Amino acid sequence: MRGMVDGPAATEFTPIPPAGAAAAARGPLPAIADDVYCQRCGYNNRGLTSTRCPECGEPLDGLRSPVSAIPWMQRRGIGRARAYWRTVYFAIFRQRQLAAEMSRPVPFADAQAFRWATVTLAFVPLAIGAIGYIFYFRPDPFDTEALNGLAQQVWPVGVAITGLWLCLAAATGIPSYFFHPPEEPVHMQNRAVALSYYACAPLAGTFLPVTLVGAAVPAYVSERPVLAFGCLLAAGALALLVLGVWWSDTVRLLCRVMPPHGRRALVMAIVLPLAWTGTAMLAIGAPVFIAFFVSLVWASYR
């Protein structure tokens, strides 16, 4: 029988120790120096020298890895487009791993680059829609009265689109003010602020409701009001979904990266929609109002 073999041949049946046992044989790992929290139970792992959370047993491989798990950080190797969409998925559906990035430095410049890429991606479909509106309702170029009427209708759209860029830029930066409690170490505040910019990833889906609004226009022109209304209703639902996921992900991320500051997260959950609404009214409404007032003054001198 093979189990009765004596001598050196018996060594081939010796079980190979698992990787964890090999790591344990080398002695304890370096202690975690920062207040990094377990993403399952919220336990503070500062000073821990093991590979698992002592409270719930969650593996801490992500906390101890020196390499960032954010795909955007590897964009020079895998390509910007692929890295961007992988990061969008990562920020929405892998938020536990995103919050675990608090265990290592999070480059602020890279987080800002992702934020501006998202703002641009959300802005471009809206700008294209506005330009499409202008060209769709373009009158006869020789009809002076029609051109003047079109200018009076279209110029607020152009001003509003400019304000929309300012609105997106400001709205994606507002959450960062909640991610740096003064009682936390400065380097941890910097990491949390950088991570907060990745929470705007759901805005990458803005093109979906914009596309449905664009589909409603030809349906309305072809006298199919039911289809047009359905497209507009679906567009509104998708727009609310994008905003809702953005709000939810931002609040949950703050709860994950800094569990002791649950009250701050509650305040942000209440204030954030109000701040976004006020920003939209100020960034979009104010330029339109000012431009309209200037046009009235200009027309009065003609």
How many beta carbons lie within 10 A of that of residue 62, not counting itself?
A: 19
Check whether 142 has a pLDDT greater than 50.
Answer: no
pTM of the entire predicted model: 0.78
Residue type, 89: Y
What pLDDT score was predicted for residue 27? 55
- Give residue limits of the domains in the chain: 28-64, 79-300
pLDDT at residue number 282: 87
Residue 21: pLDDT band (50, 70, 90) is very low
Confidence band, pLDDT 50/70/90 cuts, at residue 133:
low
Confidence of residue 281 (pLDDT cuts 50, 70, 90): confident
HSE-CB for 172 with a 13 A CA cutoff: 28
More confident residue, 90 or 50: 90
